[in-house]
Copies of this chain bind each other. A is one copy, B any other.
Amino acid sequence: MRCKPTVFDHSPIAFTVLAGFALLAVACDREPARAPPEPEERAASAPALDPLPSWNDTSTKRAILDFIERVTDEDGTEFVPADERIATFDNDGTLWSEQPVYNQLAFAFDRVHALAPQHPEWQQQQPFKGVLEGDLESVAASGERGLVGLMMATHVGNTTDEFAGVVTDWINSARHPRFDRPYTDMVYKPMLELLALLRERGFETYVVSGGGVEFMRPWAERVYGIPPEQVIGSRVRVEYQLRDGAPVLLRLPDAEHVDDGPGKPVGIHQQIGRRPIAAFGNSDGDFEMLEWTTSAPGLRLGMIVHHTDAEREWAYDRGSPVGALERALDEAPAHGWLVVDMKRDWNMIFPFQGG
């Protein structure tokens, strides 16, 4: 199932088109039952125990803690009842890394390698030929149409259970090209701490991602402590069918919902039916989610993770083919959104980097 990610051997590569492509929905049922990670332990009256140890003691951290205190203070004027404490988190670039390409695109490339023996025509057909030969210039040159074809060929035509199995196999075996680690290690320790703290304080934490919902659900509970029903993402249409008398849901080549930009508030509304009180993103694709969240009355928190650390992770914002951050960065002060400077605000990024 797993192939060498030779595509990464070539660089620099024009990923503009690749990155501009909203990642499509992907299949789920679930992994075998696994308890979500326990929230950080906190002694009842021991404020000395830092709930966010990977965050430096900067104004960013203090603003986050202040927000949590105020909305959970039953005697305060800004108290929010527990069932309305909805927090939404973008995934790519906010909870896990998205460089050198979105992890789901790496998955799609690996799928092309895995499926190639059944598709001899791919040897001559772009963008598959480019993927197989590690020639991503050709892949990018195939444009949006080529990439939609690539995503569809690697993501649909199977049942939701089958696709969840493929994702699980990949996530358990694939390794990130730069760090030679499983992709599920490429998660931000400070954000895992924040997720745990929010849940401990009565929040429901949701993933709201442009990535495929069925690409995330099989591992989100194990990695983030977020169960399938709290993962929102892009999705393809599925159809109920009987196969030998047994019902299945078949994944069709039809992008039913693109959960990016203005699609994020729509996805939130469809699945949650409540407006979040806190939202966390890192790119212009999160602008509307933050706007929708923080423009409501009452105390609200919007936060942008700014990638500023090329050494420990990556540094990018304007003009980046992946996770471009321009408008949201420019307008953050006017909206009162926090901007996390990863280099300055985080003393650890990935859990495996120690600290």
Contacts and interface: CB of A to CB of B under 8 A. Distances in A.
The majority secondary structure among interface residues of chain A is mixed
B217 A238 contact: no
Size class of the A contact interface (CB-based, 8 Å): 35 or more
A295 B83 contact: no
Interface in A279-299: 288, 291-292, 295
Interface string A267-280: 00111111100000
A48 interface: no
Contact of A274 (B29, B36, B84): B29
Nearest to A263: B240
Given A247-B265, A265-B247, A295-B247, A240 B84 contact: no
B228 A291 contact: no
A33 interface: yes
A247 B292 contact: yes
A240 B266 contact: yes
Nearest to A220: B273
A235 interface: yes
A262 B274 contact: no
A273 B239 contact: no
B288 A33 contact: no
A231 B273 contact: yes
Given A240-B265, A240-B288, A273 B229 contact: yes
Interface string A34-78: 011000000000000000000000000000000000000000000
Interface of A: 28-30, 33, 35-36, 81, 83-84, 160, 204, 213-214, 217, 221, 227-229, 231, 235, 238-240, 246-247, 249, 262-263, 265-266, 269-275, 288, 291-292, 295
